[in-house]
Amino acid sequence: MARPMLAASFYCRSLTAKLSDLSLLPRNGLFHCRYFTDQPSDAPRRPKRPANAYFLFKKKMTPEVMKQYPEASMIDATRKVGELYKQLPEEEKLELKKEADKLLDDYKQQVKYWEIDMGSNELEEFKQDIKNKRDIKKKKIQKQTLKKILKENDKPQRPPTPYFLFLRDAREMALRSGKKPETTALSREIIAEYAQKWKQLSEEEKQHYVKLSAKQYEDFQEKLSVWEKGMIEAGKESLVRKKTRQEMKIDTTQEGQVKAKAKSTSSKGKVKVETTGTKGIANVGSTRTKSKTKVESTKTKGKDKWESSDDE
């Protein structure tokens, strides 16, 4: 009897928890060991967010679609449900939305009660854990997206290290020896075997791969430099290494881009004003010259006419 009671007096927390948080002192009648699960087994579970209007429709219609099309895959069934939802009258969509809104209001109320039951410290830990997971996921997605964009823009690939050049040669030798491709795949066991062979190579043999890798790296640096200049000329500075941007004093932040654009616009305006001013001065000078010439011409004509009258 004592053993089940003792087990019920403990709950366990995440392995990522701080060592200082480990305590066997009772809190609220329970002993806290923070090292196995994200949430205490006896703590209230966070309410699950309800489905929106579309997912309520999907939950209802998927069994019917699968019954009507028994050979259809789940992907095809989901696609069919999506088509049916698009064809649904607005009145029925509105009813589904009202139902979803009602479930959402109930969910928000349940979350409030759950937060009260959790306590401020446990709630703060839970929120921080969720934030950390989201940040990790966000960074992972950003990294994958950047990798895809760099590949689409034909960024030069970094050359392999001396060890991986050795692995490549070892695999080619295995293929030439008549082994099947599946037996030369770089499985964990084969990699361990080649790692041992690499250690047994003489310094002279290793230097062959070291020099080859160094030569390939020099070629890579030259190609990368040309590629980065091309990206900058194409207005894709964000794809260029931070080191290169700093050397060329390129600011890829939103604020920096706005400042650069404003500076460019200001420079263009200044040049235009100066050009217009020069034209204006030239026009005024030209007008004055023409006017002066016209007056002198008129005076000359008048003088000639007067002299002609005197002669008569």
> How high is the pLDDT of residue 273?
42
Asked, for residue 150, whether it belongs to a domain, the answer is: no
Per-residue pLDDT at 172: 83
The domain that contains 213 carries what CATH number?
1.10.30
Q: What are phi and psi of 229, to 5 degrees?
A: -60, -40
User: How long is the chain?
Assistant: 312
User: Is position 205 within any domain?
Assistant: yes
Say if 232 falls within a structural domain.
yes
AA identity, residue 77: A
Residue 251 main-chain phi, psi, to 5 deg: -100, 115
Q: Token pair of 99, please?
A: 């139902």
pLDDT at 171: 80
| Domain assignment of residue 211, given as a range | 162-247
CA distances in angstroms from 268 to 233, 250, 275, listed in the order given: 20, 20, 11
Q: Please, how many CA atoms are within 13 Å of residue 150, restricted to the half-sphere of its CB? A: 17
**H or E element: which one contains 30?**
strand 30-33
In a domain, 54, yes or no: no
> How many angstroms from the chain centroid is the CA of residue 131?
17
Rounded to 5 degrees, what angle do the CA atoms 186, 191, 195 make? 150
Compute the distance between CA of residue 37 and CA of residue 112 in angstroms, rounded to an integer. Answer: 23
Q: What is the pLDDT of residue 135?
A: 93
Cα gap 239→245, rounded to integer Å: 10
End-to-end CA distance of the chain: 153
Helices (H), the chain: 2-8, 53-68, 74-86, 90-118, 120-152, 162-176, 188-200, 203-233, 242-247, 254-311
Classify residue 260: in a domain, yes or no.
Answer: no
Whose tokens are 């960074």? That residue is 139
Residue entry with tokens 């080649």: 194
Cα 263 from Cα 269, distance rounded (Å) = 10
Total of domains in the chain? 2
Q: Give bridge partners of residue 176 from the DSSP assignment.
A: none
- Structure tokens given for 292: 């002066």
Rounded-to-10 torsion of CA 124, 128, 134, 135: 150
Strand-pairing partners, residue 27, are 30
Each residue's pLDDT, cut to its tens digit, for the chain (312 residues) gives 444 444 444 444 444 444 444 444 444 443 444 334 445 545 678 899 999 999 999 999 999 999 999 998 999 999 999 999 999 999 999 999 999 999 999 999 999 988 888 878 888 888 898 899 999 999 999 999 999 999 899 999 999 999 999 988 888 887 777 666 555 556 677 788 888 999 999 999 999 999 999 999 999 999 999 999 999 888 888 898 888 888 877 655 555 554 555 555 555 554 444 445 444 544 545 555 555 545 455 544 444 443 444 444
Question: In this structure, are residues 184 and 175 in contact, taking their beta carbons and an 8 Å threshold?
Answer: yes
Q: What is the pTM of this model?
A: 0.46
Domain end, chosen from 247, 279, 294, is at 247
Nearest to 34 by CA among 11, 52, 54, 58: 11
Please give the pLDDT value at position 237.
Answer: 87
Residue 167 lies in a domain: yes
Specify if 127 maps to a domain: no
3-state secondary structure of 240: coil
32 domain-assigned:
yes
